Amino acid sequence: MNRYDCHRAHGPYAGVAGFLAAIAADRPRLAARHQVELYAIVPSLDRTARPTAEEEPIRFHPARRTACLAYGAAEFAASWAGTLRRPVTVTFDHVADADETTAELLHTLLPRIAGTPLSLDLRDDGPDAPPPLPSDPDAVRAAIGDSLARGFYHHAARVAAHGRTVVTSDGDLRQWWACTTGLATALAALDRADEALELYDEARAATDDPKINMSAAYATAMLYARHLSAADQDPARARHWLEQALRLAEHVDDPRHQVISTVFYEQGLALLDAKAGAPAEALRLIDDGLARLTAVLAPGEHPQHLARLRHNRAQVHLALGDPERALADLDTVIDHDPGNCEYYVDRAALHRAAGRVQSAIKDYGTAIRLGPHLPEAYYNRAVLHLERGRDERAREDLEHVLAIDPGHLDARIALVNAHLERGALDAAERDALAGLALAPKEPALLCTLGLIRSERGEPAEDLFTQALEGDQTLVEAWTNRAAVRFERGEVAAAVADLDRAVALSPAPEPRYNRGTALARLGRWEEAARDFTDALAQPGLDRALRRDLRAELTRCRRALSA
């Protein structure tokens, strides 16, 4: 198990898949704890898996899912490496020509095995020549379909682009279209939607085949509705292409297939209606679609189709201010399609909004298991832990987020603040600087770094000023720059900063601080007003309430003297 060929011609996770399979055979109990990511990377480990259908799936994984898979697989391999009793070297050949999934996993694994007996010998060459990409039409279509269904978009794009070089629309229209739509789908997932749009324009110019034009029209609509950059999205064009797809669907010969296609395309219209502020119309389309779809499907047939419509309806119920109906739909959705992490994240948000914290935490945990290692689920669960005072669990979840997605700024900020709350200034500074290395002008991190420096008695005013240059609404930066200026004796400047903080926030602290500064200036009446307003705020802790009363009494004495 010590040498593996990583060349991209072998497909996604070439080389590393064999390595992981060997570890799984050696440590089946450890593998069971990482089942979701291992089955995704090494499908042969899943004896219950069915071959990927050639038809286009209705749901695609986000491109970032491979980072989550890499994180879980690296944890699995690192845990195994930590049990080794003697040094082991594993050689990976053709690393320079590896698929993006392989390169990502190796990059994730290397720091995790530091200090273990395992070492990786990464080579750019190898003893064997890689096989060519498939040219057989069935093999090409199977490779594209499998890669798209599993979320391995770089490989799907490579195979599809290769397929388009060996076939033309005149020579084999079916094969050419399979490669063209496969390439467009992969490019859209990789944030290259403008290139996908050009491919669908090319398809319409190449053929008047109604099925191809129907599919191209719907795909074009979704590009304009979702995938193009925010500046290029165009709801009117999206609606135009959806209506074109629906007109073509009227001529589908098979009545059952006609209903399925029509309902599917109408969900795009419902999406546009919901975005345009017409949720009632969106609800009508979804309800009508569910009724027609249920009428033509046999019991248990296409459960994901029905689940997707009910999920859409849940979002519309939320837009209409009816969270209970939204929750009922999500419960049904999860019953029909229990393997979709997205549904658990949405249901957790409803539980959280209703104060059902334990149910929300449970759903986020399921999303993390199925995702697997979904950063947003880790982050949202961390927020709930912080709200409940479970600081250690929150820090663990936030560290998971950043190990998977170092650029997740919300998690970085939350972790820095968590360190700061427990007085771990060195850890807080380390994570703040790590975040600023990725986002040098992030106001919240600049502000928090200023707090750390202030706690140490180091200069911090410039950091607060830089934070305010990026975000004039950052109350913490106004308040803390005021504190620095107050301590330096620049009381009038401190009051000016606190004026901005008070204008932005009803919280009692800025008013307490401004009242203190105004009292220093002898402006007793204004100070008393701030202390009175602060005392009127709900939820004051006992110590702050005591201090406010004492300061208010001092002001009244000064005014009556």
Query: Which residue pairs, CB below 8 angstroms and at least 24 apart, start in 240-248?
Result: 241/217, 242/217, 242/218, 242/268, 242/269, 242/272, 244/213, 244/217, 245/214, 245/215, 245/217, 245/218, 245/221, 248/210, 248/213, 248/214, 248/217
Q: Tell whether the model's pLDDT for residue 273 goes beyond 70.
A: yes
Q: In the chain, pLDDT over 70 holds for what percent of residues? A: 98
Res 128: pLDDT: 76
Rounded mean pLDDT, 283-309: 92
Is 187 exposed, middle or buried, given 0-12, 13-18 or 19+ CB atoms closer than 10 A? Answer: buried
Neighbours of 473 (CB within 10 A): 12
Cβ atoms 431, 448 nearer than 8 A: no
**Banded pLDDT at 304 (limits 50, 70, 90):** confident
Residue 373 identity? H
Interaxial angle between packed helices 524-535 and 542-560, expressed in degrees from 0 to 180 and rounded to the nearest 10? 150
Residue 465 identity? T
d(CA 380, CA 386): 10
d(CA 91, CA 77): 15
Q: Tell whether the model's pLDDT for residue 144 goes beyond 50.
A: yes
Res 132: pLDDT: 83
Q: What is the pLDDT of residues 116-139, one digit of tens each?
A: 999 999 999 887 777 888 889 999
Pairing of the two strands 3-5 and 118-122: unpaired
Mean pLDDT across the chain, nearest whole number? 94
Q: Which two tokens stand for residue 179?
A: 């490669």
Cβ atoms 155, 12 nearer than 8 A: yes
Task: Identify the residue whose tokens are 């038809």.
Answer: 55
Better-predicted residue by pLDDT, 459 or 126: 459
Neighbours of 316 (CB within 10 A): 26
Per-residue CA distances from 197 to 144, 208, 221, 245, 269 (Å): 19, 17, 10, 16, 19
Q: Which two tokens stand for residue 45?
A: 């480990």
Q: Tell whether the model's pLDDT for residue 325 goes beyond 60.
A: yes
Q: Tell whether the model's pLDDT for residue 56 goes beyond 70.
A: no
Q: Where are the alpha helices (DSSP H) in 207-278?
A: 210-222, 235-249, 255-275
Does residue 298 sit in helix, strand or coil? coil
* Nearest Cα residue to 237 out of 208, 278, 268: 268
Q: Tell whether the model's pLDDT for residue 260 goes beyond 70.
A: yes
Neighbours of 185 (CB within 10 A): 24
Q: Tell whether the model's pLDDT for residue 59 goes beyond 80.
A: no
Please, which residues bridge with residue 121 across strands?
91
**Banded pLDDT at 55 (limits 50, 70, 90):** very low
Per-residue CA distances from 401 to 287, 368, 396, 414, 495 (Å): 37, 11, 9, 11, 39
Chain centroid, CA 466 distance in Å: 28
Q: In the chain, pLDDT over 90 holds for what percent of residues? A: 91
Fold adopted by 340-402: 1.25.40
Q: Which two tokens stand for residue 71?
A: 């994180």
Q: Which two tokens stand for residue 482?
A: 């005021």
Cβ atoms 35, 124 nearer than 8 A: no
Domain spans, the chain = 3-122, 340-402
Spatial strand order in the sheet of 3-5 = 3-5, 88-93, 118-122
Q: Tell whether the model's pLDDT for residue 4 goes beyond 80.
A: yes
Global pTM reads: 0.88
Rounded mean pLDDT, 472-488: 96
Three-state SS annotation for 492-553: HHHHHHHHHHHHHCCCHHHHHHHHHHHHHCCCHHHHHHHHHHHHCCCCCCHHHHHHHHHHHH
Buried residues in 5-16 as b, exposed as e (16+ CB within 10 A) = bbbbbbbbbbbb
Is 430 exposed, middle or buried, given 0-12, 13-18 or 19+ CB atoms closer than 10 A? Answer: middle
Q: Tell whether the model's pLDDT for residue 245 goes beyond 90.
A: yes
Q: What is the pLDDT of residues 504-558, one digit of tens each?
A: 999 999 999 999 999 999 999 999 999 999 999 988 999 999 999 999 999 999 9
Q: Which two tokens stand for residue 298?
A: 């046999």
Res 270: pLDDT: 96
Neighbours of 168 (CB within 10 A): 12
Q: Prior bond to 372 cis, omega within 30?
A: yes
Residue 143 identity? A
d(CA 364, CA 344): 7
Residue 491 identity? V
**Banded pLDDT at 202 (limits 50, 70, 90):** very high
**Banded pLDDT at 52 (limits 50, 70, 90):** low
Query: Which residue pairs, CB below 8 angstroms and at least 24 apart, start in 393-398?
Result: 394/418, 395/419
Better-predicted residue by pLDDT, 47 or 86: 86
Res 57: pLDDT: 56
Res 53: pLDDT: 47
